Structure 1
Amino acid sequence: MTVLHNPVIRGFAPDPSLVRVGAWYYVATSSFEWFPTIPVHRSRDLAHWEYAGHVRGAVPGGSLAGVPDSGGVWAPSLSWDGERFWVVYSVVRSVGTPYFDLDTYVATATEVDGEWSAPRRIASHGFDPALFHHEGRLWLLNMQSDHRPGGQRFAGIVLTELDRETLARVGDTHLLLRHERLIEGPKLVKRDGWFHLVLADGGTGVEHGVLVARSRAITGPYELDSQPLLTTRDDPSVPLQKAGHAELVETPDGEWVMSHLAARPLRTPDGPRCPLGRETAIQALTWDKAGWPRLRQGGWHPAVEVDVPTPPAEPGPRLADPDDPLGWPWSTPRGYADPGWADATARPGWIRLRGRHGPESRWAYSLLAQRITEHRAEAEVTVEARPRSFTQAAGLVLRYNSEAYLSLDLTWAEPEGEEQRGQQWRGEGRTVLSLVEREEFGTRRAAVVDVAAGAPLTLGVTVEDGRARFWYVREGVRAPVGPPLDFTRLSDDYGSKLRFTGSMAGVHAVDLVDSSFTADFTGFRLTCW
């Protein structure tokens, strides 16, 4: 037996899809507007996970430029047919509207870190697709969405058979189940003559849960279990909240486990907030006398510590390229890091970023960021740059999305007390650190500090108790910049809009005029504990 500690994949790692291939377990997670698309982790004991690669090429054209925050790649489902991996997912281009404007794609590969086939578009009833391989046939599960006025946006679960070679539809689509609660995330598993339909219900917030229905025939009718398999909606004190979006997998010894998403909230005066986003967890299952799946510890609340029926195992040989200075754990918004704006070769030991659009851009923003995985964290980096206008900036950023970030930037400002009169074109002005707080309802500058021009400068931020305290190193000592800022606003739970990702720490550069401005960064460190 092995004891795992949930979440097993920490930080922004939502909508986990679990599959076992031989002695290895693999999990694919949603990436939304971030690249690399569809990260995949692997483990031999369900407790210790490592990054194993991603589905390169998942987005046709290689760009999500223009997609809204929390759009992009939703809820991939990973499966194995005995010869190759399959992944099915939706690219969502509208969020918070009656139309999701999505396309659903399938790609395959013989190795998760290998070459994936070009994505092929298939029937796109709604998001949260899944594939079910059964007796040589291929079935597509979807939630369907009704965009019409008065229609249900979550209008039931549908099943369509696909031709395994062409992926064309075979026969009619079947409506398997509708429910008074919001249901999505369908997965199928067969056991003892029953097709078990595993569903996410209640939405992906604090009402989230897992329901199971079953049928003797794949096309139904399906009967619902009398109780949830998993939820925390009835108890806000459970450490793992928002539990749902599950997948059931059998171990080599005939035991069963379940992956699901969960979140670890911080308690604030404004209610619980989850700046780390939704994370990946694992539970052990059993089956009751009537043949329904149950949590092994009883009830329906997820456990933090779980005994799983696997021998302890060390991680295997690393699959990701450790020599790629811009590879994982770095992520970039809406496209891969491109040598045109991110260069790790121009100056050995440094990363050079070329400024492009500002941090609210959905098109061309020069940002490298890494997932924050604990509520206590610290990031620092040394930056060298010569901004000559207020249109140029570079620095350290904590980011959730284009409407939620905190940044400490090296930039230019007019001489103190003067208004803008074109001083930058006359060689006048000063170099400053500017601390900016952006949230859904506006932007404010929290502090400005004069610094020496041209010299390398170490910037940092410490996150603790829901507060972000920015600093820089002056004469070998950390000097605070501005007041503590509210880190919990960088969360799924703040504001009026749908949010599905998680907070990150990184470096960025901005040049709003001609992208001639560059900034060099070295020594980036993100520590989470």
Structure 2
Amino acid sequence: MTTLYNPLINGFHPDPSVVEVGGVYYLATSTFEYLPGIPIHRSTDFETWELIGHVATRPGQLGVEDVPTGGGAWAPTIRHHDGVFHLVITDAMGRGMLHFTADDAAGPWSDGDLLSKVDGTGTIEGIDPDIAWDAGGTCYITFSGLQLTGALDPNQPAHLGIQQVRVDLGTHRALEEPRSLWSGTGLMFPEAPHLYEIDGAWYLMIAEGGTERGHSISIARSDAPEGPFDGAPGNPLVSARSTPRPIQNTGHGDLVLGPGGQWLCVLLGVRPRSGTRAFSALGRETFVTPVSWHDGWPAIAPVERNPRPGTRVEIAFTPDEPLDAEWVGIRRLPTDVADLGSRPGALVLHADGTTPSDPRPVFVGRRQEHLNNSVTVRVDVSDGVGGLVVRYDEGFHLEIEAGGGAVTARAALGGLLQEWSAPLAGGVADLHLDSVTPGAGWRMVSTSDVFRLAFTPVGGARAELAEVDGRFLSSEVAESFTGRVIGVYAVEGDVAVTSWTAEGDDD
């Protein structure tokens, strides 16, 4: 029997889409401004998942170099048709709505073709595209009609509901003007449409209510892919709003027939903590839950918490092996800044004048995967200044920085800045960034976690520099679509990182 772990994929992995091909499952998620973009995980049993590659691994596939924070790769749909993998996505405030193809989901993927309007001018305006084919081979792109360009108020863009066009994939041009489909029960932000033909009927599943606490999934049915669609009597099928469930914000789902013939829904959610479950440290993660069918309608079970065992990752750097696929950069690829050859046994970062407060810092990092998490890196800053940082974006991050004869812990939180410093003899030190459950001294456990920033000089004892409330690096406070990413950076000269150790659990 399949064990459904939740989270299914730990850490910042929102907007999941899944497809089954020959008994193998392939899952894609959003990456926003991070590169490489759009990770692809693979599984044969829905329990063990392997990161096999990314869609966007080359310059130009995603135009995220200058997107504002929160822009970039939004909400992929992955499908398989006539022996080819297809993935559609919106590169929000970047290239636009894109279509990628690959013979192997591990890659390489195509450069990405822009899905243009019927007149061939510009991209189809919308987000969260889905791709589906009818029996005659007609291709349908169904999407959420959020208008991101030309909005008078960027915080209140126009929304045209769920829309659809037929597309010629030979020219990547719409064959018609967008038409409106069923847009849910009336809740805000109808989005994340997925269109399925199941047992001769067409189903349109969407998310609505916004990707926060009101998030939900609803579904409608029709005899044809173009509609008209009738909503299910039990909508919304799933929502955690106003419930005590430990997994909140559940929505943005995709259906798949899982191992043993069990229907499943992969969807996003968050794991909030605090006395009022107000702060989600890791942002939106991928979860899974069973689906049953009754009278031609699916019923989606509430998402149950079932975390995996804790992990420990130790990384030694070598010029003989590239960085593994878990490493990401911010608006540029890790290979653009990670030098593994100039000093064997070290990852060297060459500063270019940027800092973690800049949109494109000299930075490589990995997602925080566990609620309780500790990272230690050994750095040699004899020729530079840099350190270890945990970030949501350039406005919300904590760092512990070494160089110039000192170690400085720094909290940059929405325009507020605080620093704590201590002298450092020599150029080598271990830097520590620990996320821990709040102790008894925290009123009502009124936060998600507590960060401890510390360092250990060579041959010396660990020195604690600061303790910072973790709520400031939560999706609710940062108002972020992403999640925590922890990495190393350089701000002056050359910084050599000689080891990386991360361990954590979700108890």
In structure 2, relative to structure 1, the CA distance for the partners of 1:58 and 1:177 (3 Å cut) is: farther
Q: Which amino acid aligns with 1:201?
A: E
What secondary structure, in the 3-state scheme, does the structure 2 residue paired with 1:493 have?
Answer: helix
1:393 aligns with 2:398: no
Q: How does 1:287-306 map to 2 (within 5 A)?
A: 287-289=293-295, 291-295=296-300, 297=301, 301-305=302-306
Report the TM-score, using the length of structure 2 for normalisation. 0.87
Which residue identity does 1:524 align to in structure 2?
W
Residue identity matched to 1:214: R
Partner Cα distance (1:184, 1:59) in 2:
29
Q: Percent identity?
A: 29
1:117 correspondence with 2:128: no
Structure 1 gaps, min length 5:
94-100, 307-321, 413-430, 512-516
Report the CA distance between 1:444 and its aligned residue.
Answer: 1.6
| Residue number in structure 1 paired with 2:171 | 166
Question: Structure 1, residues 242-281: CA drift from partner, whole Å, max 9, x if none?
Answer: 1000011124754311110111112157x51111111111
> Could you tell me which amino acid in structure 1 is paired with residue 500 of structure 2?
F
Q: Distance in 2 between matches of 1:452 and 1:474?
A: 8
Distance change in 2, residues 1:221/1:470 (3 Å): same
Q: Of the candidates 353, 362, 365, which is equivalent to residue 349 of structure 2?
A: 353
- The alpha-carbon distance between structure 1 residues 463 and 283, as it changes in their structure 2 partners (threshold 3 A), is same
Which residue of the partner structure matches residue 103 of structure 1?
A: 96
Counting only pairs closer than 5 Å after superposition, residues 17-416 of structure 1 correspond to structure 2 as: 17-57=17-57, 60=60, 64-93=64-93, 103-123=96-116, 124-135=124-135, 136-146=137-147, 153-179=158-184, 180-182=186-188, 183-226=190-233, 227-235=235-243, 237-251=244-258, 254-267=261-274, 272-289=278-295, 291-295=296-300, 297=301, 301-305=302-306, 324-339=321-336, 341-356=337-352, 357-363=354-360, 365-386=361-382, 393-412=385-404
| SS of residue matched to 2:278 | strand
Match of 1:416 in 2: none
Match of 1:508 in 2: 489
* Cα shift at 1:172: 4.1
Q: Residues 62 and 72 of structure 2 are in contact (CA less than 8 Å); yes or no, is this contact kept in structure 1? A: no
TM-score by length of structure 1 reads: 0.84
CA RMSD of aligned residues (A): 2.3
- The correspondence for 2:431, drawn from 435, 459, 467, is 459
**CA pair 278-381 structure 1, distance change in 2 beyond 3 A:** same
State the Cα deviation string for residues 210-265 of structure 1 (Å, max 9, x = none).
01011112211111123211110131x20111100001112475431111011111
> Residue 35 of structure 2 contacts residue 57 of structure 2 at CA under 8 Å; is this kept in 1?
no
Cα pair 2:8 2:286 within 8 Å, conserved: yes
How far apart are the structure 2 equivalents of 1:323 and 1:5?
35
Secondary structure of the 2:471 match is: helix
The alpha-carbon distance between structure 1 residues 140 and 214, as it changes in their structure 2 partners (threshold 3 A), is: same
Against the structure 1 CA distance between its residues 481 and 254, is the aligned structure 2 distance closer, same or farther, given a 3 Å change threshold? closer
- Partner Cα distance (2:465, 2:275) in 1: 22
Taking the aligned partners of 2:347 and 2:83, their CA distance within structure 1 comes to 40
Post-superposition Cα deviations, 1:434-453, rounded to whole Å, max 9, x if no partner, equal 111011132221x1100113
| One-letter amino acid of the structure 1 residue matched with residue 393 of structure 2 | N
Bigger-Rg structure (1/2): 1
- The 1-side partners of 2:462 and 2:260 are apart by 57
Partner of 1:499: 480
Task: Sort the Cα spacing of 1:324 and 1:56 in 2 relative to 1 into closer, same or farther, 3 A.
Answer: farther
Alpha-carbon distance, 1:58 to partner: 7.2
**Partner amino acid, structure 2, of 1:276:** L
Cα deviation 1:88-119 (Å, max 9, x = unaligned):
111112xxxxxxx7611101001012221121
Give the conservation status (yes or no) of the 8 Å contact 1:102–1:127. no
What displacement does 1:181 show?
A: 1.3
> Hey, what's the Cα distance between the residues in 2 that align with 1:30 and 1:231?
21
1:16 paired residue number = 16
Q: Which digits, 9 at most, give the CA deviation of each residue in 1:186-230, with x for residues without a partner?
A: 001112332110101111111111010111122111111232111
Measure the CA separation in 1 of the matches of 2:324 and 2:306.
31
What is the match of residue 439 of structure 1? 413
What residue in structure 2 maps to residue 6 of structure 1?
6
Give the Cα separation in 2 of the matches to 1:448 and 1:82: 60
- CA 1:191–1:486 in 2, change beyond 3 Å: closer, same or farther? same
